[in-house]
Amino acid sequence: MGANGAGPGWSQRDQMLLRTAQVIHAHVHGEFDQILPVPVDFAVGGTYPDNRIVAVAPFSLSSLESRGDGSYAHDGGLFFATGRGGLAITAGAVLGRAVGNARRRAAAARAAQPSWQHLDRGMLCVNQFGFYLRTPTSLLWWDWGSILECHMVEPGRLGMLGMTPAGQCTYLIESDLAELVFATWAVRRQPQHAQFLRRVWLLPDWIERYRAVYGPAAFDFTVPFRHQLG
Residue 78: is its pLDDT beyond 60? Answer: no
The whole model's pTM is what? 0.78
Q: Give the pLDDT mean for 198-217.
A: 96
103-161 per-position pLDDT tens digit: 666 555 555 578 899 999 999 999 999 999 999 999 999 999 999 999 999 999 999 99
CATH 2.30.29.30 positions along the chain are 12-66+116-217
**H or E stretch at 131:** strand 130-134
Q: Give the pLDDT mean for 188-210.
A: 97
CATH 1.10.3720.10 fits 12-66+116-217, yes or no: no
Q: Which sign, positive or negative, has the C-alpha torsion 169, 175, 177, 178?
A: positive
95-114 per-position pLDDT tens digit: 666 665 566 665 555 555 78
CA triple 222-223-226, angle to 5 deg: 135
